[in-house]
Amino acid sequence: MNLTEYIDSNFIRRRNPRALFGAGLLLLSLVSALLLTSAANRSVLVWSTKGELAVGDVVASTDLVKTKVLLPQNSKLYLSTNAKLIGTTVVRKVGAGEIIPAAALSRNTQGADLNSVPLKIAKNDLPADLAKGQVVDVYVLPASGIASSKGVTTTLVGEKLSVESIDIKSRDLGGDIGVILKVPSKLTLDLLANIASGRIVMVRSAI
């Protein structure tokens, strides 16, 4: 081996660890890129919500947002953006920003036999941050003589009712606040009869 060959062989030996390290990084980058591409190919566009959807709501275009998510196993449980949702009825509450489950909507409105019942409630008799789509229980207290009467009872007149809307302007101004609840038709008459002569208190449901 001449001097030139000796020098070249030593240079290659010194260079090999760096070359191997560089090749390893390059391979790792290629594998990562392939995995990301594979994951992107499994991503699907589904419908999610802009705000909360309460039971009985009819879905409008303003309620919907297209969201790209990775659902390789259970994508059939959700609704792709190819599905036509406008005009369907909500049969299960869907939270704000939530991907809409297929089971939450129905085109058969017979199961959602609900009335929109307007109520006026004192500002301090409902949660300050109550919002559309939340679920409440409605109680009635006697309108007068609460402190002096004996045997005064508080009555639960509506349970697990969805909030359809709240008059934000009246809440900001103070005084009574307008709230519309979705109430099953068969319970509407009893609810109105019970609240006619009492003070309405609305409590956010634990569900």
What pLDDT is recorded for position 101?
86
User: Is the full-model pTM beyond 0.85?
Assistant: no
Q: Are 126 and 199 a contacting pair, CB within 8 Å?
A: no
Residue 16 has pLDDT above 70, yes or no: no
Average pLDDT, the chain: 76
First to last CA, the chain: 85
Residues 84-107 have pLDDT tens digits of 888 888 878 888 889 888 888 887
The two tokens of residue 165 are 């809307």
Residue 164 has pLDDT above 70, yes or no: yes
- In which region does residue 111 sit, left (phi positive, over 0), alpha (psi from -120 to 50) or beta (all else)? alpha
> Of 45, 43, 63, 71, whose CA–CA distance to 104 is shortest?
63
Q: Are 130 and 205 a contacting pair, CB within 8 Å?
A: no
Residues 118-139 have pLDDT tens digits of 999 988 899 888 888 788 899 9
Q: Which residue has the higher pLDDT, 5 or 95?
A: 95
Q: Which residue has the higher pLDDT, 145 or 44?
A: 44
Q: Which residue has the higher pLDDT, 39 or 66?
A: 66
Per-residue confidence band for 179, with pLDDT thresholds at 50, 70 and 90: very high
